[in-house]
Amino acid sequence: MADKLRVGVIGCGDMTRNHVFGYLTSARYEIVAIADLSKQAMKDFDEYFSEYGDYRAQHFADAHEMLEKSELDVVSVGVWDKGHAPMTIAAAASGIEAILCEKPMADTVGAAADMLMVCQRNGVKLAIGHQRRWVPSYTLAREMIADGEIGDVRLITVSARDGLPNYSSHQADMFRYMLGDPECTWVMGNVERETDRWARAIPIEDKALALFGFETGAQAMIVASLTPEHGWGGRIYGSDGMIEFSLTDLKLLNSSTGGWQKHRPDGDFLSYGEDDFEVREAAIAQARDFAAWISGEISDFRGEAQHGYKALEMVHAVYESARTHTQVQMPLKTMAHPLELMIDSGHLPVRYPGRYDIRRRSLRGENVTADTENV
């Protein structure tokens, strides 16, 4: 095998830990540098991966300095959302081969479009960390749908929480993945925001209801915080059957099964059925395919940035539908953040004042707000 890909990490949090776990377990990368504003975060990152004998990362307080000095092939971007575009653009301009940026792709569709443009201009492969495209049960559902096991898909339903871009960008991406990546053609939705609620320094809603229409005729629905239910499973209704899926397995019901049939995907998994199953298994599979894509062993990568862009576009279209009181036709034309526009215009007055961020648990030291201006 060729030399390992040299990786630099920007932002030493939980998400880039998942990236690096996949990198090291796949044995196709070496982690040569990490960058974070917090020395403690980098120290904790080193300690977390201390069991890997080939992990020896140089520390940088300035990500631009890391990009200049470290001779990298790959960069992982795991800062908060507003930092995704500037860090991705800086990495793309530094002469590297590929970038894996965490979801959601950016804080606005306009910023995401800039990321695509700069990476294309510099010949850099850009991927977005929707790792659930590698969850075996999701892939099995995709295959069953393609094989016609439930006829034509009519509706997919899921439940969510914690903000559409933060949580449901994964679900929007999952809809497209399971359906074979068709175009979303329209979006209709509404939101409630009575509290001043944020996720990683981006405003989010308290509750939402969203409906998506696809070029295939299928529809998909997200019910967010309207009921206590949430999670990464869901139900798929077709013209000749149903699929109920979870992160680990699925059940199939159609005219030939004689009742529900449970299916567990084939494979040799590290932690089947454990709480971190999908994070671990998907991170490893994502890293392996990412390396194969970078090296030219495969021409298509299921996590490439066009899919991350469309997932972000879909959830922002829900906000745009609420803002304009219309059925939004895709592609989305509003490049700013529609929820922020509603808040700034007074369209969504806060009934219970007091700003709080549901992700502030990841801040370090005395910080109570994100270091968005310094990433």
Residue 67 sits in the same domain as residue 199 = no
Question: Residue 267 — pLDDT band, cuts 50, 70, 90?
Answer: low
The answer, yes or no, to whether residue 275 has pLDDT greater than 70, is: no
Residue 199 sits in the same domain as residue 110 = no
Residue 124 sits in the same domain as residue 141 = no
Convert the pLDDT of each residue in 190-201 to its tens digit.
Answer: 999 999 999 999
The answer to whether the Cα torsion of 197, 198, 202, 208 is positive or negative is negative
Convert the pLDDT of each residue in 304-355 to its tens digit.
Answer: 999 999 999 999 999 999 999 999 999 999 999 999 999 999 999 999 999 9
Residue 208 sits in the same domain as residue 351 = yes
Q: Is residue 158 part of a domain?
A: yes
**CATH number of the domain within which 234 lies:** 3.30.360.10
Residue 184 sits in the same domain as residue 308 = yes
Q: Which pLDDT does position 373 carry in this prediction?
A: 40
Residue 230 sits in the same domain as residue 342 = yes
Q: Is residue 375 part of a domain?
A: no
The answer, yes or no, to whether residue 249 has pLDDT greater than 70, is: yes
Q: Which pLDDT does position 266 carry in this prediction?
A: 75
Number of domains in the chain: 2
Residue 202 sits in the same domain as residue 283 = no
Q: Is residue 65 part of a domain?
A: yes
Question: Which two structure tokens, joined as six digits, stand for 140?
Answer: 């099995």
Question: Residue 375 — pLDDT band, cuts 50, 70, 90?
Answer: very low
Residue 117 sits in the same domain as residue 179 = no
Q: Is residue 271 part of a domain?
A: no
Residue 281 sits in the same domain as residue 355 = no
Cβ–Cβ under 8 Å, residues 330 and 215: no
Q: Is residue 72 part of a domain?
A: yes
Residue 190 sits in the same domain as residue 333 = yes
Residue 255 sits in the same domain as residue 295 = no
Residue 187 sits in the same domain as residue 201 = yes
Q: Is residue 370 part of a domain?
A: no
Nearest residue to 313 via CA among 325, 330, 297, 292 = 330
The residue segments making up the domain with residue 13 are 5-131+277-302
The answer, yes or no, to whether residue 184 has pLDDT greater than 60, is: yes
Residue 365 phi/psi, 5-degree rounding, is 60, -130
Q: Centre a 10 Å sphere on the Cβ of residue 56 and count the other Cβ atoms it contains.
A: 12
Question: Residue 365 — pLDDT band, cuts 50, 70, 90?
Answer: low
**CATH number of the domain within which 17 lies:** 3.40.50.720
Per the DSSP assignment, residues forming a β-bridge with 100 are 76, 127
Read off the pLDDT of each residue in 73-94 and give the average, rounded to a whole number.
97
Q: Is residue 219 part of a domain?
A: yes
Convert the pLDDT of each residue in 49-60 to its tens digit.
Answer: 998 877 889 999
Q: Is residue 369 part of a domain?
A: no
